[in-house]
Structure 1
Amino acid sequence: MAAAQQITDALIQESIANAMQAVCRTLLRQDAPLVDRVPTAEYEADPLKFQLIGNVGFAGDANGMVYLCMSDDFATYAVGTILGMSDSEVKFHGLEVVKDAIGEVTNMTVGGFKNALCDVGFPCKLTLPTIVTGHNLTVATLRGTARHIFRFTCATHVVVADIQFKTD
């Protein structure tokens, strides 16, 4: 199927903003407004540091990766809200419950983004979610990709969507 239109910056921004909003409203009962788009050069010069990054790839007529970058505090808040647990219960149950719930948040968000691409003529499929935890984590630009970085807020927390499209 030939693509009905190009994948523009506006399409990318609208698609990820709608996906983030839908997932946060559904799972967290919170709005997740887009705060700003972060210029790639600015981000690479002084990257935001995170403790948890979820990512899901997409492959087909459009190829790339979406990384959702967040703090431990946001991850704990999100897991507690989704599963009806207190912060202490989330911590008691450990990293596996965090990885499972944030994996689902990431998968649903990237799924919404991917569906928007499919709707305009770029059918693609998703990879399984991967969750990485640590201290001062950043995402590097993948070779041969165009990078689009968006900052959102949800329940006073910052969440960054870092989208990298294969260009060659």
Structure 2
Amino acid sequence: MNVVDWLNKTSEKSFLSDYIKFKRIPKMESYLLTKTDFYGAQLKFKARSNSLQLEIKASKWDNNNPGTCLLCNNGIEDLRHFLFICNKLEEVRLSEHEILVNKLYDSGLSELCNQILTKDTDAFLILMLGGDCTEFIPNLPNHLIDLAHLIFDDFCKSYIKKAWAKRIEIKNGAML
């Protein structure tokens, strides 16, 4: 099977559609080799491949499950809801976002920061999950491109770990 056939076949699979959309740079899975934060890398991979155990996924297997977010009961819990919308995760989101903005500004990447803040959540998600920052700032020097990718990789892993832990904490509290 050639690459075109594979892409066509995977595009038919709804759970792989995000992965295909965000998989724009070949061999970007180098984050999986991080020995110091494998749990963060694992969660990032699950987010990229749409295999986090969110309610939308559970609803595909259980007709009685509407996919509603069990944390806020306000919307379908898909990746975008989990990362950008759920009000129960807002404290984690704001804290991690502030850290990201500060790192970008401190690293001389204020233009990239301003670009992503004015884009929709898909643009932010693309960078977060390993997309190419030159889509937003085309003439960025190579050393800043590498730095931006490292900053977004660290941000993604930290944010998903903290949001996932908060999700588990809230769900476990609701089950008591």
**TM-score relative to the length of structure 2:** 0.30
**Higher relative strand content:** 1
- Higher RCO (CA-CA < 8 Å; seq separation 6+): 1
**Higher relative helix content:** 2
**TM-score relative to the length of structure 1:** 0.31
